Chains A and B, each alone.
Chain A
Amino acid sequence: MTVPPTPSNVVPPDLTTSKSVKTVTGITVRLAGDSGDGMQLLGTQLTNTSALAGNDVATFPDFPAEIRAPRGTRAGVSGFQVQFASEEIFTPGDTLDALVVMNPAAMVTNLADLRKGGILIANVDGFNEKEFKLAKVESNPLEASVIEETYRIFKVSMTKLTRDAVAEFGLGTKVADRCKNFFAMGLVYWLFGRSLDTTLRFIDAKFGKKPDVAAANVAALRAGWAYGETTEAFGESFQVEAATLVPGTYRNMMGNQALAWGLITASKLSGKDLFYGTYPITPASDILHELSKYKNFGVRTFQAEDEIAAVCATIGAAFGGTMAVTASSGPGIALKAEGMGLGMILELPMIVINVQRGGPSTGLPTKTEQSDLLQCMYGRNGEAPLPILAPRSPGDCFDIAVEAWRIATECMCPVMILSDGYIANGSEPWRIPDVASMPKITVNHPEGTDTDEPYMPYARDEYLARPWAIPGTPGLMHRVGGLEKQDGTGNVSYDPANHQHMTDTRAAKVDRIAERIPDQDIFGDPTGDVLVVSWGGTYGSCHTAVKQCREAGRKVSHAHLRYINPMPKNVGELLRSFKTVIVPELNKGQLRLLLRAKFLVDCIGVNKIQGKPFSVSELVAAIESHVADSSSATADPHSSANGKPKAESIAG
């Protein structure tokens, strides 16, 4: 038996193509196959490689809720979309320039997004009678004449070519076939002029202990690249130059990872160890996986028996003086509601993260939605307002986590972070901050005394925050609890006037945060025809749509809220400075409800509840329809709200 070459001795020199290369500003590609085909891995590799090439990147992984969805079926299709560009981008792209499909189900479920003239690469070995049946198609979709006419199609025998490429390693067919995603990767890398280095390093790290598998994957990757280079079918490849980003050192970053890193950073900045209490739920679990790696940073992770235990343990840790965080998704946040109310009346600092997914109930667990906003605003018994922050992109999760802890400790109350599945799993280049220059978060615990005077646990400072006296401190013994407290003493009180006072005080404490957060910024002019107001993960689509409309000469601006409760002081004024306010949301209009109620300004919703993010084009169309409306001089600026808002029909 010959010893299979190890990955390091088969690493090829950096490959350069001899075919013609066309330079483009950006490319959107989606890789789609069966959930067992390794499309997420392929997508992640392409993303990292592109980011390292200096492109701006944005990704959108999309996978079924089932771990092993029935093979070959439409329900089992797993996709990964990435846009890489030489200019700053904010979304993973709308229509696809290229689509790679491993089987018929992947083709029929994704083809609608491929632009006319776009590249379609199909693994023809995945197209046979058995697969047609599984995908519920009558005949081979590749053979339809309209396909040939509409797209640039490349039929590649990936399974067979992969088997040939890895034959020398003597692997079983099953293992050999599993290498075909690396073949596809090699081909994609050739087509878009990507270096193989990152992926070779990845293979080395991941399969280093199984040298034959590692060598086979390397061979498949190279074979894919060589196929693009040698076959007559491909006449040219494409190139995307590095983007001009703010100078600095960058790395690729996913939303949940950024949240975890932000939390650890906040704990360091405040000189506190971190306690993270949680119960697994998609799409929040990765925060737990990430944090549990960093015990050497003083991180203690607690996988509780349920979400109630998770939030309550978090409160227990906060009572003890630790930085305490809990996270979940909507269904788990529902269970945490009573505990969050307690955290609020105890006036203890902590962070509660909701990584939203499709609802109601179990809903669409692997798909994105923004429909927990009102749950987070109001989903607790009694008057229990909490500050709410929403990151706008994967990288922004880092800053939001730090900011949330700053607010929590300044105000002594739980702070909510409202992320979503799209941000959590998406990725973008992230500029590594200089930790030394980040402002410290000052946390004070009152010092002990040796007098036996009763301690005043609810005495308040200028922010209305009470002191964070922690067990172990002599002379400050006190009891907290869910029964209403007398202000100052903290004794149980049923006095009606005190309850009013405490309710008002807790609300005022949250409202006053508005004094310490920046004014709402605006992209575009401070007045005009249309203001697009958005929050959370729709930032990229909204920003790009407004940018396009402005480039087309429209008087459109964009305000994206990162602070949801309280809102920045100038939001009302901004809303009133435009003829029309459009609020795109991946829900039935929850922010719109808040804006209308708070500012008495009418707003038009663009609402999509399909488990999918907005495409830029549907938002452009929505905005355009209202620019036309609002420029028809005499009309009431908000008239379109009387009928069914046109925009709403776009999303269906």
Chain B
Amino acid sequence: MLPVLKAADFASDQDVRWCPGCGDYSILAQMKKILPDLGVPREKTVFISGIGCSSRFPYYMNTYGMHSIHGRAPTFATGLKSTRPDLMVWVITGDGDALSIGGNHFIHLLRRNVDLNIVLFNNRIYGLTKGQYSPTSTEGQVTKSTPMGSIDHPLNPLSIALAAEGTFVARSIDAHVKHLGETLKRAANHKGTSLVEVYQNCNVFNDGAMAYAQEKKQRADNVVELEHGKPLIFGSKSDKGIRLVGSRLEIVNLADVAVDDLLIHDEKEPNPAIQMMLARMRYPEMPEPIGVLRSVEGVATYNDQINEQVELAKQKKGVGDLQKLFSTGDTWQVA
């Protein structure tokens, strides 16, 4: 029988060195908390990160781990999972890491549907390099490198993931610990690539950038928690809802509109059109969705297929025999 592990068993002997108050701590804590529930032994668990504050994560886990190079964690993870499908692989990345330098790999990991889990720490800033704007920074955001305000239009990781045909796409919030833990657990149990975007407060360079979603008081009005099969209701008094009108989502007052008329969330719908509409809901015009936008099962994974082809080839041609291979085709004898 497997020994019952506790969160503490997943902590490495290394001191955690994030800034006090950083949202990363909460994500680390939730990860350590959910891992024992998954029943995967520590030695079968691998964390692979890129570069950034968040990417120090693997050092703090008593599992196998690799702190790799900026933006490329998805590629190392793909190589590992393709050859070692028996391992549970996590990719830890930041908004700069995943979407700037690693944008390409992020897309390709999702479309290949490698069976692993991405946790994208989104603090809408570059933390490690001390405060430049990132691809998720808002328009007009003043940072060290944008004294007159950012003129880049921000990327939305969820939209990108859906566009890349991601089979599991979710969002959570560092401060919403219970939600975060549940979402990570669901991601881990998904077969295929799962993406969890986590709103993470960088209290040093971008403090409060997502306070509207992080702070308990504001959250109810600015965030809508998605649940499969349930209508989209939000607001501190649960008095508001989201309705689909034509090809547009709109906020309605439950005083005026019946619950039956609200949009019912369907995370299993293979056509991502409505999920994409949800992904595009942005504060302050709309409440932002958290929870699982999409969870589609049954799509073949890259790792399964690459290994199945090897098995199929062995069945069809027999296990490779070098001496035979060398001697096929035109050969000649020199005496």
Contact = CB atoms under 8 A, between A and B. Distances in A.
Interface of A: 48, 51-52, 54, 198, 201, 242, 244-252, 261, 264-265, 268, 273, 275, 277, 294-300, 302, 304-306, 308-310, 312-322, 324, 338-339, 342, 346, 432-436, 448, 454, 471-483, 491-492
B52 interface: no
B78 interface: yes
18 contacts: A51-B330, A201-B330, A248-B333, A249-B334, A294-B313, A295-B313, A296-B320, A312-B76, A315-B79, A317-B80, A318-B79, A321-B84, A322-B84, A471-B87, A472-B43, A479-B65, A482-B67, A483-B67
Contact of A471 (B13, B64, B317, B318): B64
A472 B87 CA distance: 7
A448 B42 CA distance: 13
B204 interface: no
A345 to B, nearest CB: 10
- Per DSSP, chain A at the interface is mixed
Contacts of B69: 312, 338-339, 342, 482
B268 interface: no
Contacts of A481: 58-59, 65-68
Contacts of B325: 261, 264, 294, 297
A297 B320 contact: yes
B306 interface: yes
B285 interface: no
Contacts of B81: 316
A250 B332 contact: yes
Contacts of A482: 51, 67-69
A320 B79 CA distance: 9
Contacts of A318: 79
Given A296-B316, A320-B80, 12 more contacts: A54-B334, A242-B334, A268-B320, A268-B322, A294-B320, A296-B320, A297-B325, A316-B66, A316-B78, A339-B69, A471-B80, A479-B12
A191 to B, nearest CB: 22
B67 A479 contact: yes
A479 B58 contact: yes
B105 A305 contact: yes
Nearest to B81: A316
Contact of A300 (B61, B66, B82): B82
Interface residues of B, number: 62
Interface of B: 12-14, 41-44, 46, 48, 51, 58-59, 61-69, 72, 74-84, 86-87, 104-105, 108, 306-307, 309-310, 312-314, 316-320, 322-323, 325-327, 329-335
Nearest to B101: A308
B43 A471 contact: yes
B79 A302 contact: yes
Contacts of A294: 313, 320, 325
Given A308-B75, A474-B43, A247 B314 contact: no
B65 A480 contact: yes
Given A246-B334, A300-B82, A479-B65, A316 B310 contact: no
B78 A250 contact: no
A509 to B, nearest CB: 21
A37 to B, nearest CB: 24
Contact of A479 (B66, B309, B316): B66
Contact of A317 (B14, B41, B83, B307): B83
Given A312-B69, A313-B78, A480-B65, A305 B104 contact: yes
B281 to A, nearest CB: 30
A498 B335 CA distance: 59
B323 to A, nearest CB: 5
A319 B64 CA distance: 10
A242 B331 CA distance: 14
B326 A433 contact: yes
B203 to A, nearest CB: 23
Given A316-B48, A479-B58, A306 B63 contact: no
Nearest to B314: A296
A346 B333 CA distance: 46
A296 B334 contact: no
Nearest to A434: B323
